[in-house]
Chains A and B, each alone.
Chain A
Amino acid sequence: MKNIIEIKDLKKHFKEVKAVDGISFCVKEGELFAFLGLNGAGKSTTINIVCNLLEKDSGEVYIDGLSIDGNMQKIKPILGVVFQENSLDVKLSVYDNLKFRAGLYGLNGKDFKDRLNYLADRLQFADLLKRPFGKLSGGQQRRIDVARALIHSPKILILDEPTTGLDPNTRITVWEFLNELRSSMGLTVLLTTHYMEEASDADYVVIIDSGKIVASDTPNNLKNQYAYDFIKIYDFSQELKERFANDGVVFKEESGHLLIEVKEISKAKEILTTYAEYIDDFEVIKGKMDNVFLNVTGKQLKEEMK
């Protein structure tokens, strides 16, 4: 798969603040790429540079093989962006909003109507077309804003903190549709988020902190590298606790179970085999992205998605 976005040594400073401090990464075509970091880490600054809403200080950005310097008018039609806040007109109807936005991409007449009907069907807003955008609920507005970003069938969809304030049903509807577009059309999704669960569904994750990339890999590799796995042992005996204490196995006793943190899954296997005669009921829990983030940056991510 070819790289559809390439960023090389990108820098952007706001006076003393190094918002983006020499980051480089690539996004492959058709990939779900997550850009994980706390608020103010530099995610939105990077996105704004990619969309040409902000000038970079230095570095290079290539989209679909074209540099953003001098080619933005060719790049714009292949980009769709969902910003943190909705960017549609509250006084206009949903239909008018989408008609005017589609017109800016040269989509009108029957082509527009076909595309609108398709999106309205898939994102479930056909019954809302005549209603003013401002009168809709937050979830409905978000679905229509996603439709706005997809109205011109872009090759790349950038989602800047898209699920902030979304109800679970809407989140599922939107993600199911985006995954369908990825498999059917090869849509590339670049997602910025501070929700670890969203990042864990990605094909590739870049963790950014204070304008620098601090880790990047597939979620599984990141978990293997940075997150600890846990063994929970239920119905444990006093004898097992003594054996662990004698053998130097570190454990924590929590309500009704013993918790052992292991660096690698092989270590869990070894413990379970060694003490098999004392263990009847157990579970092994894989490390999560929040552990990865905490271990990489020393900072805690938001927990709302849990």
Chain B
Amino acid sequence: MKDRLSRFGYMLGRNIKVYFKDRLTFVFSLMTPLTLVVLFLLFLRGVYEDSLVNSLPEGFELSKKVINAFTGSWLFSSIMTTSCITIAFCSNMRVDDKLKKTLRGFEIAPISKFSLSLSYTISNFITTLLICTIVLVISMIYLAIVGWYLTFVDVLIIVVDMLLTVIMGSLIISIVGVFINSQGALSGICTLVSSMYGFLCGAYMPISSMGKGIQNFVGFIPGTYSTVIFRQAYMNGILDEIGKDVPAQAVDAIRKGFDCEYYFFDHKVAPWVMYVVVIVTIAVLLAIYLALNLRVKSKAADNKNVGSKI
């Protein structure tokens, strides 16, 4: 057992070290959050501000601090949700190793195929989580500067949702990666996920402003629910603050208009249901992941003894 863990540890250490040594991969991983920050600074902040001010009833005004905290919260909830998935997708090392034929060197070593797969998935999880934690800390610093309205529970929910979403992202790319056999396919999927996911989960524009059909369609994407959890956690505090000066009806409209609530076929989805959807999705992905790795293991013709020694 000690040997197995030691070998697994070496593989994990190698994956993490290679990832951070490869500056290009690291920079590409940060492209999505950086793009969102640039978009925010250039014009999204203005759009959010206008949209917020226009949602207010006649005669009501908000302080600059509240407006900045609101737009900042919305921005960082978007960045967090896209980062958790796209960074996981763009930093998968197994596919890269397979394409560079480095993987063969590990496949001939006395480490089981399952341990090998697991080392890639866990290193993907750790590297993604590290970068997302940096993004999280930056978001906390930003909000502390412009206006802090988060409670301890809000921060805890953000951390838990980050963990769940990163697990989801790492599992999805580990599963998809089994079927990727060319550099073109890898770049294609990475680009597609980076660009599409931001739109589909409402990072660039609120889901509520999309057509009814798209609103219902995104309800079938589990990532939508983790996005709404991020939105609620980041924005509950600031919405409560707005509620001190603005009628409750107007706050509800803002809540709905900025995706702090989600309606699936006109039914409001309760927060606990969102957690259930995310956790069930992870369970299903985990089952597929295990099935795929067991299938690979049985195909490898060493199914009798493979577990005895990593």
CB distance from A93 to the nearest CB of B (A): 9
Judge whether B302 and A73 touch: CB under 8 Å: yes
Alpha-carbon distance between A71 and B306 when the two chains are bound, in angstroms: 8
Judge whether A104 and B301 touch: CB under 8 Å: no
Interface set, chain B 39-85, CB cutoff 8 A to A: none
A242 within 8 A of B: no
B268 within 8 A of A: no
Closest residue of B by beta carbon distance from A158: B108
Interface set, chain A 99-140, CB cutoff 8 A to B: 100-101, 103-106, 108
Judge whether B108 and A53 touch: CB under 8 Å: yes
Q: In terms of DSSP, what is the predominant structure of the interface of chain A? A: loop
Alpha-carbon distance between A69 and B105 when the two chains are bound, in angstroms: 20
Judge whether A87 and B110 touch: CB under 8 Å: no
CB distance from A183 to the nearest CB of B (A): 25
Binds A, one of B9-17, B254-262, B271-279: B9-17
Judge whether A73 and B104 touch: CB under 8 Å: no
**CB-defined interface of B1-45 with A at 8 Å, one 1/0 digit per residue?**
001001101110110011001100000000000000000000000
A81 within 8 A of B: yes
Give the one of B108, B305, B306, B309 with max A CB within 10 A: B108
Judge whether B104 and A55 touch: CB under 8 Å: no
- Our pick among A73, A77, A79 for the contact of B306 (Cβ within 8 Å) is A73
- Our pick among B22, B101, B299 for the contact of A91 (Cβ within 8 Å) is B22
B303 within 8 A of A: yes
Known: A89-B14, A103-B7. A72 touches B305 (CB 8 A): yes
Alpha-carbon distance between A155 and B61 when the two chains are bound, in angstroms: 80
Known: A105-B110, A106-B7. A72 touches B300 (CB 8 A): yes
Judge whether A53 and B6 touch: CB under 8 Å: no
- Our pick among B9, B109, B303 for the contact of A76 (Cβ within 8 Å) is B109
Judge whether B300 and A55 touch: CB under 8 Å: yes
CB distance from B216 to the nearest CB of A (A): 44
B107 within 8 A of A: yes
Interface set, chain A 27-83, CB cutoff 8 A to B: 51-53, 55-56, 68-74, 76-77, 79, 81, 83
Q: In terms of DSSP, what is the predominant structure of the interface of chain B? A: helix
- Our pick among A52, A53, A73, A89 for the contact of B102 (Cβ within 8 Å) is A89
CB distance from A54 to the nearest CB of B (A): 10
Judge whether B107 and A73 touch: CB under 8 Å: no
Judge whether B308 and A104 touch: CB under 8 Å: no
B267 within 8 A of A: no
CB-defined contacts of A96 to chain B, threshold 8 Å: 14, 17
Judge whether B302 and A70 touch: CB under 8 Å: yes
Closest residue of B by beta carbon distance from A100: B14
- Our pick among A71, A72, A104 for the contact of B11 (Cβ within 8 Å) is A104
Alpha-carbon distance between A101 and B11 when the two chains are bound, in angstroms: 8
B304 within 8 A of A: yes
B264 within 8 A of A: no
B111 within 8 A of A: yes
B112 within 8 A of A: yes
**CB-defined interface of A241-252 with B at 8 Å, one 1/0 digit per residue?**
000000000000
Judge whether A92 and B21 touch: CB under 8 Å: yes
Judge whether B109 and A83 touch: CB under 8 Å: no
B106 within 8 A of A: yes
How big is the B interface, by class?
Answer: 20 to 34
Judge whether A105 and B109 touch: CB under 8 Å: yes
Known: A89-B102, A103-B7. A73 touches B305 (CB 8 A): yes
CB-defined contacts of B6 to chain A, threshold 8 Å: 103, 106, 108
CB-defined contacts of A103 to chain B, threshold 8 Å: 6-7, 9-10, 13
- Our pick among A53, A56, A68, A92 for the contact of B104 (Cβ within 8 Å) is A53
Judge whether B102 and A88 touch: CB under 8 Å: yes
Alpha-carbon distance between A73 and B7 when the two chains are bound, in angstroms: 13
Closest residue of B by beta carbon distance from A89: B18
**CB-defined interface of A133-167 with B at 8 Å, one 1/0 digit per residue?**
00000000000000010000000000000000000
A85 within 8 A of B: yes
CB distance from A110 to the nearest CB of B (A): 15
CB-defined contacts of B105 to chain A, threshold 8 Å: 81, 83, 87-88, 101, 148
CB-defined contacts of A105 to chain B, threshold 8 Å: 109-110
Interface set, chain B 273-309, CB cutoff 8 A to A: 299-306, 308-309
Judge whether B306 and A91 touch: CB under 8 Å: no
- Our pick among A53, A71, A88, A106 for the contact of B3 (Cβ within 8 Å) is A106
Alpha-carbon distance between A62 and B309 when the two chains are bound, in angstroms: 19
Alpha-carbon distance between A239 and B261 when the two chains are bound, in angstroms: 109
Known: A55-B300, A83-B101. A104 touches B107 (CB 8 A): no
Known: A76-B110, A79-B108, A103-B6. A91 touches B18 (CB 8 A): yes
20 more CB-based (< 8 A) A-B contacts, given A83-B101, A104-B7: A51-B107, A52-B301, A55-B300, A68-B301, A70-B302, A70-B303, A70-B304, A71-B304, A72-B305, A73-B306, A83-B104, A87-B102, A89-B102, A92-B21, A96-B17, A100-B11, A103-B10, A105-B109, A106-B6, A148-B105
Q: Which 6 A-B pairs have the closest CB atoms?
A: A103-B10, A87-B105, A70-B304, A72-B302, A100-B14, A91-B21
Ordered by A's residue number, 19 sampled pairs between the chains whose C-beta atoms are within 8 Å are A68-B302, A70-B301, A71-B304, A71-B305, A72-B301, A72-B306, A73-B308, A76-B108, A83-B101, A87-B101, A87-B104, A91-B18, A91-B21, A91-B22, A96-B17, A103-B13, A106-B3, A106-B110, A148-B105
Where the two chains meet, the residues of A that have a C-beta atom closer than 8 Å to any C-beta of B are 51-53, 55-56, 68-74, 76-77, 79, 81, 83, 85, 87-89, 91-92, 96, 100-101, 103-106, 108, 148
